[in-house]
Chains A and B, each alone.
Chain A
Amino acid sequence: MKVFEGLKFSRKTSIIHFLDPRTKFLVSCVIFLISLIFSELIILSILFVAQIPLILLAKIQREWSHSIRGGAFLIIIILSTNLIFGYISNNFQLTSRLLIHSIAMAFRFIIITSSFSIFFLTTSPDNLSLALEQSHIPYEFCFAFTTAVRFVPVLANEAQTIIDAQRSRGLEVEKGNFLKRVRKYIPLLIPLIVNAIRRSLELAEAMESRAFGAKKQRTNIYSLKIKKADSIIIISSLIIIFLAIYSKFNLQIPIIQIPLLPP
């Protein structure tokens, strides 16, 4: 359940929180793209280190580390599958390149998780909705999206209560072989889904009784404005992504070599 903590907006005041959601989304996308363009460990490490000041500035160290810890399981899977399959296809030889490549792939996942975690942790659902609306996305979609984001922690909480209730009835999820374990998710999933559907129907009724969609033309009290800081960051991000693409095709990136292993 910790994973969801890493997506939950925490109301704080910081420079990062103050930035326009669109700016932050662009930065996250730039980080995401660069991490896809390059598979060299050096570049990926730089990308990772570059995020640390952002996390500290936004004062979200704790929430951020929850989301990384929540992804630990996937990180280990990525690392080990890369290692195992690389090892097999490499005629059962562990090379420096293989090891570095596996670590880099795990790093790539961490970077992507953390960049979007920073985005969601520092952007309030309201601002997110405004940003979507001002990007001319139909309001119904914006609403559905932000509601989904908003309900993630609620669902996570509810899932925990359901797990507690069924464990109190003697359900032991960790026990038994794989097939038995899968079957044990039924008592957890059915109440969760039933409640989610029930809740969404209630939400729809509540919205209709508050005249959702009565007027085609919606207005907002607040509107987002691209500030000076935003423009600077947007322009630098664009320059960075351009430089990244340029150097991908024109520069040789040094490769790290692990001692005691064949290259």
Chain B
Amino acid sequence: MIKVENAFFTYPSGVKALEGLNLEIQDGEFIGIMGENGAGKTTLVKHFNGLLKPTNGSIYINGKNTRETTVAELSKNVGLVFQNPDHQLFCETVEEEVTFGLKNFGFAEEKIVERTDWVLNFLELERYRKSSPFILSGGERKRVALAAVLAWDPNILVLDEPTIGQDYLQKERLRQYIEQLNGQGRTVIIVTHDIEFIAECKPRIIVLSKGKIINYATAKEALTNSENLSKASIFPPQIAQLFTQIADLGLPKDVIDVYEAKVLIENLLKGGKRNEGV
């Protein structure tokens, strides 16, 4: 469980990045963090594994205060995947990249082999096992970076901007991985600007703006509250915009899902024809 108690954070340069956050994330939840550029999203998630400590207030991970725990100890529970894979890949092969974390955390030899096989298989990287991470494509490098963290099976997984530069197919696969991991009981937190991706994943959403939480609600509530979203420079997903504009047809406004929209429109059209017939 992650508990944020009245957390403030000011960078040494004087930028106030977090201004009094209160937040609780239960085990097994699926959370999306959204907000404008510079809202403090990355700053917030860096607090979850202790890279940054709040200048005021406290953060507890599974009951432990991050101030009294090392980054390594916290990272074993909280796997943080950075936005740019080029900031962490350095090994000669993908396999070594994956075992790096496992070795750091002192896993036994058999366990390392087992976890490496599992993660390469899970993220479909098996055929790149002996390739250099530097020759892979951007999307593949991102997957290697994810594999390198997923390897030690942290029960809280935090992904900063996982969809940047990914084609539709990759995003779809990423969504499946995330849903699978979350389905197995892990907490998954994604930071993203990709509203359509969020609308498909439907996590619980934290809207962050200028270092403050301005909404913490279900995807349906948060993504259809355009007034609230606009404070964080976010525009609702296209489906939601459409349903807001055709609300006088008697359809619900809070639709973010294409499938739900399809059913509603079908019903409307069928009903409409019946009306004409009468």
Contact = CB atoms under 8 A, between A and B. Distances in A.
16 contacts: A164-B46, A165-B88, A168-B79, A169-B75, A169-B100, A169-B149, A170-B72, A171-B104, A172-B72, A172-B104, A187-B90, A190-B90, A191-B86, A191-B87, A191-B90, A194-B134
Contact of B75 (A2, A170, A191, A198): A170
Nearest to A170: B104
Contacts of A251: none
Interface of A: 2, 158, 161-162, 164-172, 186-187, 190-191, 194-195, 198
A165 B70 CA distance: 15
Contacts of A187: 88, 90, 100
Contact of B82 (A161, A170, A171, A194): A161
B49 interface: yes
A168 to B, nearest CB: 4
A164 B86 contact: no
Given A169-B149, A172-B71, 10 more contacts: A161-B82, A164-B46, A166-B88, A167-B72, A169-B100, A169-B148, A170-B75, A170-B152, A172-B104, A191-B88
B148 A161 contact: no
Contacts of B76: 170
B93 to A, nearest CB: 13
B104 A168 contact: no
B174 interface: no
A158 B88 CA distance: 11
B80 interface: yes
A171 B104 CA distance: 6
Contacts of A170: 72, 75-76, 101, 104-105, 152
B51 interface: yes
Contact of A169 (B84, B86, B101, B134): B101
Nearest to A165: B88
Given A168-B51, A168-B80, A194 B104 contact: no
Contacts of A169: 75, 88, 100-101, 104, 148-149
Contacts of A171: 72, 104
A169 B90 CA distance: 12
Interface of B: 12, 46, 49, 51, 70-72, 75-76, 79-80, 82, 84, 86-90, 100-101, 104-105, 134, 148-149, 152
Secondary structure at chain A's binding surface: helix, strand, loop or mixed? helix
Nearest to B73: A170
A122 B90 CA distance: 37
A169 B96 CA distance: 13
Nearest to B51: A164
Contact of B87 (A165, A172, A186): A165
A168 B87 contact: no
Contacts of A164: 46, 51, 82
A168 B90 contact: no
Contacts of A195: 86-87
Residue in A2, A158, A168 whose Cβ sees the most chain B Cβ within 10 Å: A168
A131 to B, nearest CB: 28
B100 A168 contact: no
A198 B86 contact: yes
Contacts of B149: 168-169
